[in-house]
Structure 1
Amino acid sequence: MRLVQLTVPTGKRETILEALDERGVDYVVTDENSNREYTAVVYFPLPSQAVEGVLDELQDAGIDEDAYTVVVDAETVVSRRFEALREEYDNGDVESDRISRQELQAEAESLTPTFAVYSIMTIISAVVATAGLLLDSPAVVVGSMVIAPLIGPALGAGVGTVINDEDLFVESVLYQILGVVLAIAAAAVFAWMVRITNVVPPGLAIGEVDEISERLAPDLLSLAVALGAGVAGIISIATGTSVALVGVMIAAALIPPAAAAGIAIAWGQPSAAIGSTALVLVNVLSVNLAGLLTLWYAGYRPENLFTHGETEERVRRRVVGLVVIVLVFAVFLGAITYSSFVTSTFEENARGEVELVLDEEEFAQYQLLEFEVVMDQDYPFIGPERVVVTIGGPPGESPPELADTLHERINQHADDPVGVEIRYVGLVER
């Protein structure tokens, strides 16, 4: 529910009140004594879904941007006419649940902080995320998402497009570009300082840290996070519900991958940053694409009817452009996903071969103690470098034919030659 307060220009009082009467809207009128070109101030409650239509009609009746209109939340309205008005606008569809175009624009603008605050919060978020990744701490990484101020620019571009506010669109795009650059740069500088000061153990292999490695070689499922965040973000602000948790979800798609890219750069492995940087870019584009499509589906259109066709064409061009770019990145992520699938299949087959060999009669006295596939560091398309097999058996016995057999059988499942390291442990029966 909303309470609307607007000033009535001279000569428009009767026209505006008649428009409200025709809509069945309760209102209160007070005289305006500020010696300006207004005769009265009108207050009236409206269901949230009725705000846009009523304000558009009143604007046609003479309320222009030189006047001011204030829309605030109303906790409770007790009125039979109001209940009838709410039932009239509640159609049970998406459009009946959304806030007005005017409120949406104000909400999108309010979610984007000033340049200084945005920059500082983005840098802090990236630094905290970098620390969390290096500590291999999911809790710290989640904490970095909470403080990231990314939701406003991420959704503002779509809002600016559908309501024909190019200033909002341009500002949101620039903020997003700045956010990505700042996050990666801040992460790289912080990680470099941590490395040269030996805050982390010297010789730390970033590929062995789970929180980092999973973002250096992202898979296709990462797209679902970004698309879901974009849809959820728009639905949250369009229905007037809390956007705090959705903001965390959007940050989850952007901040940790950016921090992983910065860490890879600081560790002198720019090729390892390719996957995480691609993930950041595709997530940014996916959030914008999902938000734009959701806004158009929810029925948001420009204020001026004459710009509908122009805006629709603009939306179509931007959607097509975003889809093409997202698909290109999706192919790249799909290739990484396929590479991971091949690696997992190799690991499973190689282990199976080891077990089959040890089940043979001539090697029955040996048993598999441990099996490990060591990956190379060729991110983002990592693959098996060598296989380490730890076998237990009678003390003092290590038949060379077992090692040869395992090497041959394991490499049957590899596209490129894979080293096989056999570690023998003597087992004493008690």
Structure 2
Amino acid sequence: MRLVQVLVPEGKSEDVLEALDGQGIDYALFEERGRGEFEAMVQFPVPPEGVEEILDSIYAAGIREDAYTIVLPTETVVSSRLAMLSERFGGTRISREELLARARDASPVNSTFFAFLVLSTVIATAGLLLNSAATIIGAMVVAPLMGPAISASVGTVLNRQELVRRGVFLQVAGLIAAIATGALFGLVVQGTQLIPPNLDIREVAQIAERTSPNFLSLFLALGSGIAGAISIMRNAGSALVGVAIAVALVPPAATSGLGIAWGLPGVALAGAVLVVVNLLAINLTAMLLFYFAGYRPEEAGRGEGAGATTRRAVRSRAAFLVGALAALSVVLGLVTLTSFQAAAYEADVNRAAQSFVDQLPADQRVSFERAEVDYRPADILLGERPRVDVYIGVRFGDTIPEDFADRMDAHLTEQTGREVVTRVGVIEGQTATEDQGVTARLPRPNTLVAV
């Protein structure tokens, strides 16, 4: 329940009370003596879903520019007369005025915003280098990126350009700052003993996850944008939703920064693309959800012209976001397709290598151990040949033919339809006597034949 208080300017009491009577609202009227331009204060309880409609009827009386309006949450209102109002104003969303106030409060002042963003990026970058998902999630708790995304979306549907400008500025400037922070942090730690020497960041799982984004990555951003809008409209779970939005934005930005620090343009570009795609998706879904929830500027109820202007603004911005998202999604589509092709190729290689060993004469006593395939989505796009390491097991003291690797290479090329660079690793093993019942095998190959 909400308690609404409105200061009524001189000469407007009759219009305001007539509007409230027309809405069937019980109200209390108090004489105002604090300021000469106001003659009364009217207050009334109303369910949250009815605040917007009731205030619109009061604003229609022409007091918007002169009156002070205060909407207060109430702990308890005891009255059997409110049952009819609660039944009339069924719903789950807050009023336009409350939404606007929450959007303004969601974005902290610039100094606080950038301080928290830099701190969260430093922690997230450390978590990426440590390959620690827990550290990355912990960093997201302090990342302040939900507020600007919500502010921009609310400003669009309510035609508040100051909110749009501030929201867009904080998002763009904040993510640029996050990439720069990740790059600077990466440059600093490279010259220390905090990370292993000659670390290849592309082999770190948490970083590799963000350098091969696919369409599944997009669902995190889409879901986060919808959840952010719902949490603001219903005042529930906004802190947890803020973590989800930050997870979609800060780690990819930190990954892009690390790519810059390590001089790996592919990593930097992949992280940046994921950041931009997620940013667009979050803003698009939040804006559309607010719009379809029925939020419109106050002016939209006063004439068709104002409503048409809002519709045009929302449609044009939605079209821009959808167009940009579709263009960048081509990258996600290529990565998704090539990732599937790389996984399928690895499975084909294992089957082909197994079939090659199975066809060998029994007296060669060779067993297939495993095949390791180095074939990434980028290799597929660039037309690079896959690199395959095939490990076979032989009895201790046995040898393999000198052309074994060449024959394996030809077999893999024929079976998979791709020219391949093949290396064969030989693992020598020895079986103990039968009563001991154990088998000893060297952990790594002691012979390597390359083609």
TM-score by structure 2 length?
Answer: 0.90
- Please state how far the C-alpha of 1:113 moved relative to its aligned partner: 0.4
Amino acid at match of 1:408: A
State how 1:20-39 maps to structure 2 within 5 Å. Answer: 20-39=20-39
Distance 1:225 1:409, change over 3 A: same
2:425 maps to which residue? 423
Distance 1:23 1:179, change over 3 A: same
- Please state how far the C-alpha of 1:205 moved relative to its aligned partner: 0.6
**CA deviation vs aligned residue, 1:349-378 (integer Å, no higher than 9, x gap):** 001111111222416721122321234695
Distance 1:410 1:361, change over 3 A: closer
Once the two structures are overlaid, the 10-residue window that deviates more, 45-54 or 376-385, is 376-385
2:68 maps to which residue? 68
- Please state how far the C-alpha of 1:22 moved relative to its aligned partner: 2.6
Mapped to 2, the partners of 1:313 and 1:376 lie a distance apart of 44
Once the two structures are overlaid, the 10-residue window that deviates more, 35-44 or 288-297, is 35-44
Amino acid at match of 2:406: D
Distance 1:313 1:193, change over 3 A: same
- Please state how far the C-alpha of 1:412 moved relative to its aligned partner: 3.6
For the aligned residues, what is the CA RMSD? Answer: 1.9
Q: Is the 8 A contact 1:257 1:280 kept in 2?
A: yes
- Please state how far the C-alpha of 1:252 moved relative to its aligned partner: 1.0
Q: Is the 8 A contact 2:339 2:376 kept in 1?
A: no
Q: Is the 8 A contact 1:156 1:168 kept in 2?
A: yes
Distance 1:297 1:121, change over 3 A: same
Amino acid at match of 2:242: G
- Please state how far the C-alpha of 1:341 moved relative to its aligned partner: 1.0
SS at match of 2:63: coil
1:368 maps to which residue? 368
SS at match of 1:147: coil
Mapped to 2, the partners of 1:38 and 1:415 lie a distance apart of 85
Quick check: 1:260 aligned with 2:261?
A: no
Unaligned runs of 5+ in 1: 91-95
Distance 1:191 1:384, change over 3 A: farther
Quick check: 1:220 aligned with 2:200?
A: no
Q: Is the 8 A contact 2:221 2:278 kept in 1?
A: yes
Mapped to 2, the partners of 1:130 and 1:276 lie a distance apart of 13
Q: Is the 8 A contact 1:386 1:419 kept in 2?
A: yes
Distance 1:419 1:47, change over 3 A: same
Unaligned runs of 5+ in 2: 433-451
Higher relative contact order (CA 8 A, sep 6+): 1
Mapped to 1, the partners of 2:154 and 2:430 lie a distance apart of 72
Q: Is the 8 A contact 2:373 2:387 kept in 1?
A: yes
SS at match of 2:361: helix
State how 1:29-428 maps to structure 2 within 5 Å. Answer: 29-90=29-90, 96-305=91-300, 306=303, 307-362=306-361, 365-375=365-375, 378=378, 385-395=386-396, 396-412=398-414, 417-428=419-430
1:93 maps to which residue? none
Q: Is the 8 A contact 2:124 2:250 kept in 1?
A: yes
Mapped to 2, the partners of 1:415 and 1:341 lie a distance apart of 16
Q: Is the 8 A contact 1:183 1:255 kept in 2?
A: yes
- Please state how far the C-alpha of 1:399 moved relative to its aligned partner: 2.2
TM-score by structure 1 length?
Answer: 0.94
Mapped to 2, the partners of 1:412 and 1:272 lie a distance apart of 33
**CA deviation vs aligned residue, 1:254-291 (integer Å, no higher than 9, x gap):** 01100110111101112221111000001111111111
- Please state how far the C-alpha of 1:75 moved relative to its aligned partner: 2.3
Larger radius of gyration: 2
**CA deviation vs aligned residue, 1:213-256 (integer Å, no higher than 9, x gap):** 11011111111111111111111111222311111111111011
1:5 maps to which residue? 5
Distance 1:174 1:399, change over 3 A: same
Mapped to 2, the partners of 1:58 and 1:277 lie a distance apart of 48
In the TM superposition, structure 1's runs of 4+ consecutive aligned residues that sit over 6 Å from their partners are none
Amino acid at match of 2:234: T
Once the two structures are overlaid, the 10-residue window that deviates more, 121-130 or 2-11, is 2-11
SS at match of 2:298: coil
Mapped to 2, the partners of 1:360 and 1:385 lie a distance apart of 24
Mapped to 2, the partners of 1:188 and 1:317 lie a distance apart of 35
**CA deviation vs aligned residue, 1:7-48 (integer Å, no higher than 9, x gap):** 111122232223223322222222222133112222211111
**CA deviation vs aligned residue, 1:91-134 (integer Å, no higher than 9, x gap):** xxxxx321111111111110000011111111111111100000
Mapped to 2, the partners of 1:358 and 1:72 lie a distance apart of 78
Q: Is the 8 A contact 1:150 1:247 kept in 2?
A: yes
Mapped to 1, the partners of 2:379 and 2:64 lie a distance apart of 58
Q: Is the 8 A contact 1:187 1:259 kept in 2?
A: yes
SS at match of 1:391: strand
- Please state how far the C-alpha of 1:185 moved relative to its aligned partner: 0.4
SS at match of 2:103: helix
Mapped to 2, the partners of 1:345 and 1:107 lie a distance apart of 49
